[in-house]
Structure formats: C-alpha cells, structure tokens
Structure 1
Amino acid sequence: MRIYRFALAFALLPALTFAQTAKPTAADAQAFMDKAETELLNLANEASRASWVQETYITDDTEAISAKASERLLNKTNELVIGARRFDGLTLPPDLARKFKLLKLNANPTDPKLVAELTQVSSALDGMYGKGKYCRQGAAGAGSAEGEKCLGIEELDVLMAKSRDPKELEDLWRGWHTISPPMRAKYSRLVELSNEGAREFGYKDTGDLWRSRYDMTPAEFSAEMERTWTQLEPLYKELHAYVRFALIKKYGAAAERPDGMIPAHLLGNMWAQEWGNIYDLVAPPATGYKMYDLEGALKQQIGPVSELDAAKKMAKYGEGFFTSLGFEPLPATFWERSQFIKPRDRDVVCHASAWDVDNDQDLRVKMCIKVDADNFTTVHHEEGHNFYQRAYRNRPFLFRDGANDGFHEAIGDAIALSITPDYLKQLKLIDEIPPAEADIPLQLRTALDKIAFLPFGLLIDKWRWQVFSGQTKPEDYNKAWWELREKYQGVAPPVARTEADFDPGAKYHIPGNVPYARYFLARVYQFQFYKAMCDASGYKGPLNRCSFYGSKEAGAKLNAMLEAGQSKPWQETLKAMTGEDHLDAGPMLEYFAPLYQWLKQQNAANGVKVGWEAK
C-alpha cells in the first residue's frame, strides 16, 4: 500500500538566480525558498496528474507522458538543490532552515539526458509490473491464446489466498515470478542512474540518501531498525514455529524441510509477507464460540448492488471511522475521481494507493476493491493517508508530508487496529462481542499479518541498500534476495532459483522504486499511536480490546499530529502524540502479550523447535 504524492521526492528548477557578488542574506534565502516552493508545487501537481493517468490507463503513450512530466520535475529540483548551496552556513529562522534541509534530501543526475533516461526507465518498470500476467492452461481468457487463461496479480492474490492445493500454489508462485526476469537489466540501470544523482549531491549512494531522511544519520537509522527488530524477533520466531507445525500437519512433506524454513508458497500470499489468509489452517482448537464471518457480514449489509457501488460502500466504512472522530467527510471529488474497481477495458496498477493529486483537496484512492475482510482493513488504511494529506494542506509546500514516511503508513493502520468486535458491533456487522476466550483467536489472526510482516518489511530495503552500495552486484541479485529472506523470514522458495530469475521484481515496490522501510516503521508506530489514542479516549482494559471509534478526544489528539505535517523532526511530533521520542516496540508487545505466552505454551506442548537454519 502506497501513498502517492509528487512533492520534494523529485524535482529541479532552472535557475532561480541571484547576483553572486553580494553576500546572501536571510531575506535572499526566504525569497529563493518562496519562489522555489511555488514552482515545485505547480510541477508536482502536473507530474501527479500524469502519473495518475499512467497508472489507471497503462499504455506506451501514458508512460511517455508521465515520464516527461517527471523529467521536468526532476530537472527543476536538481537546480534548486544546487542553487540552495549559496545559503550554506547562513543563520536562518528554524522553519526556513528546515525547508532547506528537506530540499537537499533530493538527488538525481544533473545531466538532462540521464534525467530523461531515469524517468523513462522508471515508467517502463512501473508499466512492466502493471501489465504483468501469468498465462496458464485453462479456459481461454482476455489476452491469451486458446486454452490459456492470463491472470494479473489481483486474480492470483485471490487464488493464493484460497487454494489449499500445494501443487497449484507452487504453479501460481512460479508463474507470477516469470514476469520479473525481463526487468533485471532495466532495474540495474535504474540503480546506476539513481546512484549517479545521489553521489553528485554528496551521498555515498541512494541507500545512504534514503536513510538520511529520518532526522538522524544513516548509521543511526539502520541501528534503530535493528534494535527494534531485536525486540520483536522472539515473538516472530514463536509465531513462525507454530505456523510451520500447523502447515506440516496439513500438507505433510510439501511443507516440511530439514532446515526448519517454511516454503514461501504455502503462506497464503504471493510474497509470504502476511499470513492471515491461512488462518483456517492454523486456528486454535474450537472453544465453543464460533468466530464471526466479517466477509459474509459485509456482503449481507452491502447487499446485491453493482460492483462499483459495493466498492464505494466499502470505502464509506473507512470515511465513517474518521468522521466519528470529528474529521470532516472526504470531498465530493473523492467519490467522483477515485478508482474503486478494476476497469474491464484496460490495464491498470491495482496495487492500493492513496493520492493527493493537487496537494490540496483532490484526494483519491486507486484500488480494485473486493468485498472482504482484507479490503475492509485496506480502505481504512488508504483513507488514513487521505485524511493526513488534507490535515497538512495549509502548511508550506515542503512541509506537506508526513513527519516521516512511516508516520503516513501508520495512521490508517492505527485506525484499523480499532476494528475490534466492539467497533463491528456498533456498525451492526456482528450481533455480539466475543467472550474473553476468543481473544487468542483474534490476536492470532491479527499477528498473522502484523507480526509475520515485520522481517519482510525490514529486508526489502536491506536488500536495496546492499544493491545501491555495490555490496550486491547485479549478477548476485537473486542470491542476495533469498539469503535475506531465509535469514530474517525463515522462508524458502518452493522451487530452485538461479540468477536467471529476478524474484525481487515480482514485488511491486522494487520496480516501482518505492522505499520500504516505512512499512516496518509503520508496523511499530501504529501501536504507539493506537495506545495514545486509546489513552486519550479514556479506555481502561486490555489494549487489544480497545476501540476509540466515536472518541472526539482521540480525534483531537490525532488531528494535532496530522496538521503538523513535516514541519518538525519526527521525534518531536511523536513525543507530542505518545510521550516517547523514539521507535518503541513496547506497545506492540503489550498488545500481543497474551498471544506470545500462548504461542510459547503451544510450541512447548507440541515439541516444536523454534527457529530455523538459514543457508
């Protein structure tokens, strides 16, 4: 899931120039920045509109149009960054100094030809993923030869979630991973071009640049990530061991490996990043309470309406949560301009994302919504981005962003944690709140997504940092990918892999060149935000049962954080919200404490060895 806005992530301005003879003043710096922000806003909006069309109507022409708009934006930013050097060492007011700092966290090649190539390669990779399909033997389908049916990732996702045939799952996994080998050469060139820009502006490489965006040094940021993972790794390993035991019980030899790793195709998700789809295979023994069926309840409440109307009703649930906290409803244009379902007549990027097209009120989501529990959570997540975007829209342009990118991802997820039985009962989706003995099943279902994701969220950018730094060469892309997945996730490919494959490219964020550390951060921040809002609402009781739906006090606390945007270091914004100024796994561990103890008991009782042996 991705937030989409073109702001300072890309751009270059031909020449805001000043006479070079006079020593610059703070007034000169302010004039430079005022004009720069105006130019950047206009170009960012132009690029955003072009990108929206490209992702919702994928053709060679829309790719070229989007690439050209991005190129203009890139060429503007580079010159601005260069021009801003004139004010280095000048004492500036704090807000203005922060704007210059944020502006300089951008780096692209200064050669216009290389900028043009970078934008073309980026658009091409994005399109290759969006058009990717696996054609397998079966009923003839659109774009396929007779006797074949071609499936995009959204159809494959459904099959991966529902199939319980290990051979079919292996076939689907293998098939989707055939879309990415053609990306390898272009991706390698993207790395070269990206590094060229980073080094021109004083960074070691693009990974160094990305890690510099967190109001701490790159080394400090890497250490913060590892420290937090170390806090959470024991819980993950207990969950991994419990799930592995259940899968072996279900699939036998197809799931069992001597090294203790889990075959990646058996976890209900193409990338084994979230495991909630296999809850039925790992659910605790029945306690006499029958767990509610959220998908069934949603379908019954939404009723027999068109696919588009059903998708809009799903999106209304997300909006309703925020308005219950005191936020204004989403603008009418949100409902008119968003992509809620997959069009029947063209290729689109279905990967869910939230858009702030004009950096003001033109808020949209781009999704291919289905009526199910996962999409119910996703609409809350994506609209969290939209409410954040609107909250900071009155800030100066360079402050119109999250305190850091992890904050942006965490907002909707903190709201989604409040999708408790109490919330569902208030929506009349369930008739009664499950008893206390149902907490373990509910926590397990949540952990299969929240906890299972953590190592994946960590390793994606670890792989890219190694690639950007040159530690991992193009000829070792796949080897390094699976080394990290084995080390951190304890998962293994279902079939042998070689360097003829390019498995990283089968995950959208790699060809899309979207930094991924934000998702790891968000998994932790969301529990910090959630606990803070539960406290503000006056809730007393086990953290995992809290819902602050309808609490204006929680809404006021949240809105204050959202309105700050990127105007302050994230540590200050976090402290105002939670009382802590650092990434803290404590609330997450508090939330899952009952499950953690239960998992340890289950693994001990079953004689399960916790951990695995990576190659």
Structure 2
Amino acid sequence: MKNLAWVIAAATLALAGCDGGNNQSESAKGAAPSSAEAVSYGADTTAAGTVAQADSASGTLDAQDAKAFLDSAQARLEKIAEEVSHASWLASTYINVDSQYTEALAVERYTSLAVELAQQAAKFDDVKLDPETRRMLTMLKQGLVFPSPNDPKLTAELAQIGSKMQGMYGAGKYCPGQKTGDDEPAGDGEETCYTLTEMGQKMANSRDPKLLKELWVGWRKVSPPMKPLYERQVEIGNAGAKELGYDNLSVMWRSKYDMPADAFATDMDNQWSKVKPLYEALHCHVRAKLNEHYGDDVAPASGKIPAHLLGNMWAQEWGNIYDIVKDDDMEAPYDLTQLVVDSGMSEKDMVKVGEKFFTSLGFKPLPKTFWERSQFVQPRDRDVVCHASAWNLDGKDDIRIKMCINKTGEDLITVHHELGHNFYQRIYNDQPFLYKEGANDGFHEAVGDTIALSITPKYLKEIGLMDEIPGEEKDLGYLMQQALDKIAFLPFGLLVDKWRWQVFNGEVAPGDYNKAWWKLREEYQGIQAPVERSEANFDPGAKYHIPGNTPYARYFLARIQQFQFHRALCDAAGETGPLHRCSIFKNQAAGKKLRDMLAMGASKPWPDAMEALTGQRELDASAIVDYFQPLMVYLQEQNKDRECGW
C-alpha cells in the first residue's frame, strides 16, 4: 500500500491489488504550521482551519496559504494513514465481523478527512502557484479512489460497503453439494468446500472440461450479492467526484496520469493497437490447439474460446495450458514449478530468493519485521484474503507481503513482483507523504515484473536451481510460455477499467452490468462464457479488483512498461543478446539506474521518471514487440492455413 494509496489502499487495498493470476500497496514529514503561522491563522492550525482562517481574514488565498495547508494536510493524513493500514491488514488476515467493523470505522475517518482536504485543496484552483505546490494540491484532490460527498452518513456508508464487499470476496468458497441450478456439479455432492486458491490450482491442472465448467460457475456464485452494494457505491462515489470538480468517477480516474483524461484513454488504445496483432496470432494458435485437444463439442475451431478452458479462473493469463498449446517438437527450456519443487525450498525460502535478487542490485535487505509480520501461507484456522499483496503500514520500514504461497513457478514470479512493490515503497520513504507512491500506478506494478523478466535460465543457474543453460533452440518454448501470460493478459488488462469507466459515466446502467462485461470480454479477448449468463449474475464482482476497488489500467500499463524498463536496464547492463535471454541479476550499473528512478517516487510527472530510466518520455510498446518477435514469426507460420479472428 502507498500514500493516499498507502491508505486508500487501506480501503481499497491499492497495492493489495497486485494481480497475480490465480494467487490471489509513504510522506513528508508534513509538519503542522510553525508557531508564527499558527498565530497568523488563529487557534485552529488544522489544514481546514488554515484555509478557513485565511479566507475569512482576507477574502483571498495566496501561495503561502497553500504551502501551509499542504504541510498541515500531510501531517494529518500521515497520522491516520498508519491507523487505517493496520486496521485493513487485520481485516484481510483475520476476516470476521469485528475486524471488518474496525476497518470500516478507520476507513470512514480517513475518507472523511481526505474528502475534507480535497475540497479545501480545490479552493486553491485559481491561485497562482509554483508547479510543485500545484502538483501536490492536484494529487490531494485525486487521492481517493471512491471519494464520498462531504456528508458523514455517506462517508460511513461508503466505508461499510467497501469493507463488506472485500469480506464477501475473501470469505468466498464454492461448495459442490449446494446446487443453484446454474449447472450440475461434477463432484460426488459431498459437503466439501473449495477456497479460491484451491479452485485456482484445479483450474490450472485439470483437463476435465466438466469439472472446469463446474468450478468456473461455482466461483461466480460469490458475486451476485455484491451487485446492489456496488451500484450504491458507484452512486456515492460519483457524487463525491462531482464535489471535487469532476464530471464523474470515470473522468477522475483517467485524470491521474499527468495528461487529460481523454488523452490517457486514447494512449491506452494506441498502445493496444501496437500489440493487438501479436495477441490475435496467439489467440488463433491457442484456439486451434484447444480444438485438437478437446474436439469441436468442447472447443470450437472458430469463433470465441470458452473461458473455462484457459487454465485461469478469469481467462486472463493462459500459461497453465502450455502443455496443450505447445507443439510436439517444442520443448520448454525448463519447468519452473518442477525446479522449485525439486529444490526443496519452503514458501519462506521462495521469498528469500526474491530478496536476494534485489540486494544483488544494491538495495538494502528487508527489515527483520518483514519476516516477522508478513503472511506467507494460508492459515488453517481462519479466513484470509489470499490475493497477493504488498504493504507499507507506516510509510517507513514496516513493509510486508500477504500471500498464500504455493510452491509453483507462478508464485515464485509473484513473489518477485510483490517484493518489487516493497523495495519501491522503501526506497522512496524519505519523500513527502504525497510523493510516497510510484510515478504512476503502472510504474508500481511494472517494477517487480521487470525483475521477473530477468528470471531466465542464466539467473536460475546462478542461484542453483538449474545445472546448465538450455540452448537457443528451446527459446521458442520459453517465449510461448511468456506470451501465454504476458500477451494473453493485455486485452483483459485494458477492458476491466473500460467497463468501470462506462459504468461510472452512465454509459452502462446497472441493469446491463453483466451484458456490458461480456460484450467487452468477447470483443477484446475473443472469449465467451461457458454457460449462459444474465443480469442475475454479477461476473465482474468475481474478479478481486472490482469489489476491492483497485483501478486496473495500471496492470495494462505495467505490461507495456516492464518491457520498456527491461530493455533500458539490459542496455545499462551491457547485455547485447536477445531481450528474452537478458538478466540483470548482480549488475550494479543496472541496479543504480533502477534505484535512482525508484527513489523519485511521485515527486515528478511520470514522463520525467520514464526518461530517467529509459531516455524516453512516452509509453512505448515497441519493446514488447521486439521481445516476442521470434515467436511472432513462428505464429504467423503456424496460422497461415487457419481462419483467425472471432
């Protein structure tokens, strides 16, 4: 978690929103005004009091008032942020009515303060200010993901809704013996219940289409009760956004990227257009392979792919069906899961491996408290939110991860991703409160994934998981594995927030929530639900980031940025071979370049941070195209006699 995402995250689990597939995060020492300022402004030295006193005394506000306001605002936010973070950690790791109640109260207080400060910040909109003061005020206005109107009852209601939906998701299970008419269970009807983690493992490994369909339908029974809560949350959040000067939440969310809201949406579409041909080629090949494996009745040779066959509960990443997709003569260079299992490492050992990568680049080792306070495995005695997440609870050194780690290659990569958040949080912890976050939220997601791109055979040999580096003849298998996760994810990463933007701006009414969701999934991903869906369902709510209120555009941005970062760091490391073979492990030159950029936090617009690392000021999808070029040539050859598209 981080700053206003350090806490808002508390309400929304901002960095607790890391998207790890089936596995399901911070301030100036913003001091209060000095004694002289306190005399000038009167007895009330709070941020709101600063503005109110100055406004009533002179009728106008000036740059000095703005700076005093920001000092006080950051001090107040920092204090309550830590309280909310601890309450949210408790609610995620001990799910019960008391922890949810405690979290809701803390979030209510934080939200109320954040709304108050955002509205006060808006009073400086017409004041002439230096760029940094203006930037901080804008960030203060945009801090909340779901802002409440300035109404204590609505603030309380919003906090309660958020906590309740996250609790519903975290406690969600599927019990095959409980039929609801959606589909006949494939099991024996015993009262055995599966957690999402357990279902994710079955989805990854089973090739029984009847069981896969049952699990797919079964998990989505958790979300229909969320729908009325979500409708109300959007209603309150839109009202709050309007009080801050935005037309709706859609405009507010899209305005957080140092460019106009519509320009940001256009840039997202432009980047997608660059990688879409690669996705379409992959989709065509995967569909053909599924058809060969399952036959026409289960996996049609044309049109959309049934969502339950792709090895992931949300069909967002397809790496788990590599065994089906690969050609007979395509050997993967290694099985990372098997390497993890054969090593005998524990779940905690997997985290130690991730830490070693970062320390090899010059980062400080994780603090002792990280190892004492993190959640590495799913407890046997209580419900928890297993969705992988990275936290900074005090804006300083109380950093943690929360996972239910499985001994798999996927989770080893997820560990590196989450630690990327933690090391980012820690290296910018001397920045002012409002700057204790990534240059944009995509940066935060991209850092760990950039490191994960260095989990190559060269790296695995250096840490003792592999004896010999496979030859280049096996690179296509590796690139196919990577593409099944990285490329397959791109349209999903784009459409989740496209759906929310349409909901927020009224383009999609509550009566069409599910219809609009599946329209986007069919259009962008070329997949379809395995059974008929209706408005009695609320399938968006079956994806953590919807009830968790975590904006999703960051994940699309991160998929693009990580390759852009990787290319730049490999250049800094002096690597001259193919991008997919480069690892920056132990390279001090690359490490320094990365550390210098991360230490900036959000103190500069993201193009400045991008330029510091890559020499470019724009998002550039060409790096991902370069990385997968050998695979694209292969896919074009395989697809030449197939009818692609959907």
Question: Do the structures match in fold with TM over 0.5?
Answer: yes
Q: Distance in 1 between matches of 2:61 and 2:517?
A: 49
Within the candidate set 100, 103, 108, 1:66 is matched to: 103
For the pair 1:512 / 2:548, whether they are aligned, the reply is yes
Counterpart of 1:18 in structure 2 is 53
Q: Distance in 2 between matches of 1:293 and 1:112?
A: 54
Q: Distance in 1 between matches of 2:297 and 2:451?
A: 38
> How far did residue 259 of structure 1 move?
5.3
Counterpart of 1:48 in structure 2 is 85
For the pair 1:608 / 2:645, whether they are aligned, the reply is no
Counterpart of 1:428 in structure 2 is 464
> How far did residue 13 of structure 1 move?
6.8
Letter in 2 for 1:577: L
Q: Write out aligned runs for 1:254-273 (5 A).
A: 254-257=297-300, 260-273=303-316
Letter in 1 for 2:335: D
Q: Distance in 1 between matches of 2:61 and 2:532?
A: 61
1:4–1:345 Cα change, 3 Å: farther
Letter in 1 for 2:244: F
> How far did residue 409 of structure 1 move?
0.1
1:515–1:172 Cα change, 3 Å: same
Q: Distance in 2 between matches of 1:255 and 1:532?
A: 44
Counterpart of 2:266 in structure 1 is 223
Q: Secondary structure at the match of 1:354?
A: strand
Q: Distance in 2 between matches of 1:85 and 1:480?
A: 34
Q: Distance in 2 between matches of 1:52 and 1:259?
A: 46
Q: Distance in 2 between matches of 1:394 and 1:458?
A: 33
Partner deviation per Cα, 1:223-265 (whole Å, 9 max, x = no partner): 0000000011000000000000000000002443375110000
For the pair 1:302 / 2:365, whether they are aligned, the reply is no
Q: Distance in 2 between matches of 1:270 and 1:146?
A: 22
Q: Distance in 2 between matches of 1:494 and 1:418?
A: 36
Q: Distance in 1 between matches of 2:10 and 2:134?
A: 20
Q: Secondary structure at the match of 2:225?
A: helix
Within the candidate set 454, 463, 471, 2:499 is matched to: 463
Q: Is the 8 A contact 2:316 2:488 kept in 1?
A: yes
Within the candidate set 88, 96, 99, 2:133 is matched to: 96
How many residue pairs align between the two structures? 597
For the pair 1:170 / 2:213, whether they are aligned, the reply is yes
Q: Write out aligned runs for 1:582-601 (5 A).
A: 582-601=618-637
Letter in 2 for 1:608: R
> How far did residue 28 of structure 1 move?
2.2
Letter in 1 for 2:516: A
Q: Distance in 1 between matches of 2:158 and 2:293?
A: 47
Counterpart of 1:141 in structure 2 is none
For the pair 1:6 / 2:6, whether they are aligned, the reply is yes
For the pair 1:249 / 2:295, whether they are aligned, the reply is no
Letter in 2 for 1:609: E
Counterpart of 1:279 in structure 2 is 322
> How far did residue 77 of structure 1 move?
1.2
Of stretches 544-553 and 145-154 in structure 1, the one that deviates more from structure 2 is: 145-154
Partner deviation per Cα, 1:136-162 (whole Å, 9 max, x = no partner): 149xxxxxx992211111000000000
Of stretches 184-193 and 21-30 in structure 1, the one that deviates more from structure 2 is: 21-30
Counterpart of 2:152 in structure 1 is 112
Q: Distance in 2 between matches of 1:183 and 1:460?
A: 17
Counterpart of 1:444 in structure 2 is 480
Counterpart of 1:77 in structure 2 is 114
Q: Secondary structure at the match of 1:423?
A: helix
Q: Write out aligned runs for 1:335-354 (5 A).
A: 335-354=371-390
State percent identity of aligned pairs: 53
Q: Is the 8 A contact 2:302 2:643 kept in 1?
A: no
For the pair 1:126 / 2:163, whether they are aligned, the reply is no
Q: Distance in 2 between matches of 1:482 and 1:290?
A: 33
Partner deviation per Cα, 1:3-28 (whole Å, 9 max, x = no partner): 99534778997644323232333222
1:8–1:480 Cα change, 3 Å: closer
Q: Secondary structure at the match of 1:226?
A: helix
Letter in 2 for 1:389: Q
Unpaired runs of 5+ in structure 1? 139-144, 304-309
Q: Is the 8 A contact 1:242 1:602 kept in 2?
A: yes
Q: Is the 8 A contact 2:2 2:436 kept in 1?
A: no
Within the candidate set 172, 185, 188, 2:231 is matched to: 188
Q: Secondary structure at the match of 2:256?
A: helix
Letter in 2 for 1:175: G
Q: Write out aligned runs for 1:552-591 (5 A).
A: 552-591=588-627
Partner deviation per Cα, 1:570-614 (whole Å, 9 max, x = no partner): 01110111111111101100000000110000111xx211110xx
Q: Is the 8 A contact 1:5 1:48 kept in 2?
A: no
Q: Is the 8 A contact 1:207 1:469 kept in 2?
A: yes
TM-score by length of 1: 0.94
Q: Write out aligned runs for 1:198-213 (5 A).
A: 198-213=241-256
TM-score by length of 2: 0.90
Of stretches 425-434 and 411-420 in structure 1, the one that deviates more from structure 2 is: 425-434
Q: Write out aligned runs for 1:375-394 (5 A).
A: 375-394=411-430
Counterpart of 1:311 in structure 2 is 347
> How far did residue 535 of structure 1 move?
0.5
Q: Is the 8 A contact 1:10 1:73 kept in 2?
A: no
Q: Secondary structure at the match of 1:359?
A: coil
Q: Is the 8 A contact 2:302 2:644 kept in 1?
A: no
Q: Secondary structure at the match of 2:175?
A: strand
Q: Which 4+ stretches in 1 moved above 3 angstroms?
A: 1-5, 7-17, 254-259
Unpaired runs of 5+ in structure 2? 12-45, 179-187
> How far did residue 196 of structure 1 move?
1.0
Q: Distance in 2 between matches of 1:599 and 1:487?
A: 21
Q: Secondary structure at the match of 1:171?
A: helix
Q: Distance in 2 between matches of 1:4 and 1:264?
A: 35
Letter in 2 for 1:75: S
Q: Is the 8 A contact 2:216 2:313 kept in 1?
A: yes
Q: Is the 8 A contact 1:5 1:359 kept in 2?
A: no
> How far did residue 82 of structure 1 move?
2.0
Counterpart of 1:306 in structure 2 is none
Q: Distance in 2 between matches of 1:227 and 1:60?
A: 45
**Over aligned residues, Cα RMSD in angstroms?**
1.9
> How far did residue 86 of structure 1 move?
3.5
Q: Secondary structure at the match of 1:471?
A: coil
Letter in 2 for 1:71: E
Partner deviation per Cα, 1:393-420 (whole Å, 9 max, x = no partner): 0000000000000000000000000101
Q: Is the 8 A contact 2:10 2:84 kept in 1?
A: no
1:247–1:290 Cα change, 3 Å: closer
Q: Secondary structure at the match of 2:486?
A: helix
1:179–1:10 Cα change, 3 Å: closer
For the pair 1:401 / 2:441, whether they are aligned, the reply is no
1:591–1:89 Cα change, 3 Å: same
Q: Secondary structure at the match of 2:53?
A: coil
Partner deviation per Cα, 1:362-407 (whole Å, 9 max, x = no partner): 0000000011100010000000000000011000000000000000
Counterpart of 2:277 in structure 1 is 234
Q: Distance in 1 between matches of 2:402 and 2:454?
A: 23
